Amino acid sequence: MSIWSQPPGSLILDPTPTMENYVRIAGDGYYIRGLLRTLWLSLSTTAIAALLALPLSWWIVLRAGRFRGLMLTLVLIPMVCGALLPTLGLMNLLGPLGVINGTLKSLGLIDRSWKMLGNQTGILIGLVHAFLPLMVLPLVSALDRLPADVESAAMSLGANRRKVWRRVILPLAAPGLIAGSALVFCAALTSFVTPLILGQGKVATFATMAYQQASLVLDWPFASALAVVMLVILALIGAGAWGAQRWAADTP
């Protein structure tokens, strides 16, 4: 469908094959910029999620003890609530009349709202929130393979803490980290409810562009072309992650 077109002023599809839609994506800096912005946002989301998930998963596996179940339940929450409800919650948290601005205002620290929505910060906060579980879960299952006393064992052999992390924990966590990163990256790349609501239309990602074209402009062939571009990127990443995982599994 992405190689079809619509005659001007009509929405009836013309199934003569044309590359027009792809030329439009490639030829206009706007879509390329949008694509780069989306890739950047997804990369940052993945990086931040990894940074937050590593200590959290490590804690859950080695230190949480009988609170493990409880903590994992808490981690699962954003995933099972769907995209819409947590995003509405974030709006009420970050918005100009939300909890954070409200608290700062009543403490007299600021008098005009601090803008956290409608920019990349807001979207990042939302994306990391939505997809952190996808990073934590594979990490936890990878770290689960660590013997409980690995840390003290390595240290009794004279390794210092940093060495234990670099030589033992990170290599063991690598497959989980790679799997989690691929999941988070792909999910962030195609997510549209979060950037749509938290970006307030001021920050466009590839998925919100596709949504705008499909649902509002009603240019379905062009929306399909945008989606195809996204699928190709996803396929490349999938193949890359698979390769990386094999490599990590083969490296001792």
Partner 1 sequence: MHVKPKLTLTSALTAVGLTASIATAQDFSGQTLIVGTWGGDIERLLKEHAAAPLEEKTGAKVEFLLGGSGDRMAKIYAERQNPTMDVTFQNIYEAPQLLADDLVVAPDPELDIYETVWDGMNDGCYAMSLVGLGIAYSKDLVPEPPEWADMWKPEYNGMIAMAPYPSSEGDGLLGVAARLEGADEHDADVAFAKVAELGEPALTYTSLDEVFALMEAGEVAMAPMISGYVLAGLKEFPGIGFSFPTDPGPVLIRDMVCQVKNSPNPELAQMFIEYALSAETQKAYAEEIYFGPTNSTVKLSESAAADTINSPEEVESLLALDWPWLIEQRADWTERWNKDIMGQ
Partner 2 sequence: MKLKTILWAALTFAVLLYLIAPIAVLIFSAFDDGKFFRFPPRELSLRWFRAALDSSEYRSALVNSTIIACLASVLSVTFGMMAALGLTRGGLRSRPAIEILLLAPLTLPLVVWAIALIQIYARLGLSGSFWGLLLAHTIIILPLSVRILMATLSNIDPNLEDAARSLGARPMRAFARTTLPLAMPGVLTSAAFGFLISFNDVVVTTFIAGASWMTFPVRMYSQLRGQGVDPITLAIGAMIVALTLVIVALGEARFKWSRRI
- Residues contributing to the site for partner 1 (CB under 8 A): 8-12, 28, 30, 33-34, 96-97, 112-113, 118, 197, 200-204, 212-220, 222
- Candidate ranges 21-29, 109-117, 170-178, 180-188; the one touching partner 2 (CB under 8 A): 180-188
Largest CA distance in the chain: 76
- Residue 237 vs residues 36, 97, 123: alpha-carbon distances, Å: 15, 39, 22
Q: Does 92 bind partner 2 (CB under 8 A)?
A: yes
Q: Does 224 bind partner 2 (CB under 8 A)?
A: yes
Q: Does 21 bind partner 2 (CB under 8 A)?
A: no
Q: Token pair for residue 20?
A: 């027009």
Task: Provide DSSP, 93-131.
Answer: HHSTTSHHHHHHHHTTS-SS----SSSHHHHHHHHHHHH
Helix (H) or strand (E) holding 7: none
Q: Token pair for residue 58?
A: 């490590």
Q: How far is the CB of 66 from partner 2 (least distance, A)?
A: 11
- Rounded CA-CA distance 154/211 in Å is 52
Q: How far is the CB of 227 from partner 1 (least distance, A)?
A: 15
Q: How far is the CB of 128 from partner 1 (least distance, A)?
A: 22
- CA-based R_g, the chain, Å: 22
Q: Which partner, partner 2, partner 1, none, binds residue 149 by CB below 5 to 8 Å per kind?
A: none
Q: Does 98 bind partner 2 (CB under 8 A)?
A: yes
Q: How far is the CB of 186 from partner 1 (least distance, A)?
A: 23
Q: How far is the CB of 44 from partner 2 (least distance, A)?
A: 16
Which contacts of 221-225 are long-range, i.e. CB under 8 A and separated by 24 or more positions?
221/1, 221/2, 221/3, 221/4, 221/5, 221/6, 221/13, 221/21, 222/2, 222/21, 222/24, 224/1, 224/2, 224/21, 225/2, 225/3, 225/21, 225/22, 225/24, 225/25
Residues in 203-222 at the binding interface with partner 2, rule: CB under 8 A = 207, 210-211, 214-215, 220
- Rounded CA-CA distance 177/181 in Å is 6
Residues in 135-174 at the binding interface with partner 2, rule: CB under 8 A = 137, 140-141, 144
Q: Does 88 bind partner 2 (CB under 8 A)?
A: yes
Q: Which partner, partner 2, partner 1, none, binds residue 104 by CB below 5 to 8 Å per kind?
A: none
**Chain positions contacting partner 2, by CB under 8 A:** 1, 52-53, 55-56, 59, 63, 69-78, 80-90, 92-93, 97-99, 101-103, 106, 129, 132-133, 137, 140-141, 144, 183, 186-187, 189-190, 192-193, 207, 210-211, 214-215, 220, 223-224, 227, 230-231, 234-235, 238, 241-242, 245-246
